[in-house]
Amino acid sequence: MTTLPVDTAIPPDDSEPLRHARRTLLISALATLATFLDTTILFVAFPDIVETFSGAGASELSWVLNGYTIVFAALLVPAGKLADRQGHKRAFLLGSTVFTVASMFCGIATSVELLIGFRLLQAAGAAILIPSSLALIMRAFPRERIPQAVAIWGAAGAVAGALGPTFGAGIVEALGWRWAFFINLPVGVFTVVAGRRHLHESSDPETRVPSVLGVVLIASAAAVTSYAVVESDRFGWGSARTGIVLAVGVTLFAAFILQQRRTSAPALDLELFRIGNFSWGNLSAFAFGLAFSAMFFGSILFLTQVWGWSILKAGFGVAPGPALVALLAPRFGKWAGQIGQRPFLLVGGLFYAAGGLHRVVFLDADVAYLTTYLPSMLLTGIGVACCLPQLSSLIAQALPANRIGVGGAVLQAVRQFGGTFGVALTVAMLGAPSGLTDALIGFDRVWTVIIVGGLATTLLAIPLRTRPTLPSGASA
């Protein structure tokens, strides 16, 4: 395996390679921000979509959200593998183009069937561009600057996910739900035009095209498992239907692993899991992704259902958290280059758990934003800034240079599964409360998920082995 070269010479800030690297980061982070922002905005826009297509059933309309989740998870790993082979720039431009064109057609869709179809196409574009965007950044930056660069890239997704309700509510109220898709167009056009001009191609021609059977098995396993989770709120976790579908998903995963061990053209190199930081990092990413989704989704539901706030006001209520992430993540990324990512993950999980504990102890039906809700949002914000970007950086640096695309895709798939489970758990724990007391008990269960997820992230970070990439005192 080829490993990332270690370059001990730090190029000056005004060097052409570093200017190119920063352009690559800007283009890649913008594309990532747009894809994750789109997902959370749709949660806010969904009621308006239901009103527009009032003749469609609730089950059919749910596929506007669920179909995207399933296709995105199903295609991530195969797309990452093909990007390693065919070229990361080529994959990024293709994914950006598909996502942008599909966004336009979603905005002008005249039927729910067309809207669902174009949402599936959007998901395919996102699955292609996300892993390749990380690979482009990894190839563009010198090793000593990778932690800060990947932290900024990772923070873009976290900030976009949390700011979606605020931004989305304003867009939907002012312009209507179709503009939730149209706002992707200028970003998409910019990333494609600027990407064609500024991005440098990188690939590994020796990477074999994965076998069709392997691609079908991993895509099917991811799709079936995601389907079981997203539909659990309709059929229940204890239903025979959910159990059977989950069993089918697990069986497909097992068949995929067996097939990968025997094939000479794997869709996922299983030896990557022998890398300790890759394995433990992905487990941490699953735990934190689950807790993050529970926190985010639970926060919006609490502010709207218990405190009676509008979606727009609730969006502004959660905004200090992502604002803090945007402020701290680049700085933490620089420090991680000097001391490694492990200390941030150990401390960040504890901060995140403390945010959940604060909610359990202090948050109730009395509206006291500054004393009960805001402190918890700041604690979890510090936790997110410490964990989400650093997990991306940790795993990216653990990968061989010719496996960045598929390895990054695994991380995104794991986080996607964790997030999907987090939303499903939140829905299951809240249920249909009979009154205020029952609702508060349900939310305390959700806040407990935040505590457990934060502590699990810290515990899973203990076996990690990270080292500085930037000499102490060097500028980044």
Domain assignments of the chain as residue spans, ordered by start: 16-210+267-461, 211-266
What's the pLDDT band for 58 if we cut at 50, 70, 90? low
pLDDT for position 1: 40
pLDDT for position 472: 45
Please check the confidence at residue 207 and state whether its pLDDT lies above 70: no
pLDDT in tens, 125-182: 998 998 888 888 888 888 777 777 877 887 777 677 667 777 777 888 888 889 989 9
Count the Cβ atoms, other than its own, within 10 Å of residue 279.
Answer: 17
pLDDT for position 235: 74
Please check the confidence at residue 368 and state whether its pLDDT lies above 70: yes
What's the pLDDT band for 388 if we cut at 50, 70, 90? confident
Please check the confidence at residue 117 and state whether its pLDDT lies above 60: yes
Q: Give mean pLDDT, residues 192-214.
A: 81
pLDDT for position 14: 56
pLDDT for position 161: 66
pLDDT for position 361: 94
pLDDT for position 5: 38
The pTM of the full predicted model, rounded to 2 decimals, is 0.79
Average pLDDT taken over every residue of the chain? 83
pLDDT for position 194: 92
pLDDT for position 109: 92
pLDDT for position 474: 46
pLDDT in tens, 223-274: 788 778 777 767 777 788 888 988 998 999 899 889 888 887 777 778 888 8
Please check the confidence at residue 426 and state whether its pLDDT lies above 80: yes
pLDDT for position 10: 41
- CATH number of the structural domain 16-210+267-461: 1.20.1250.20
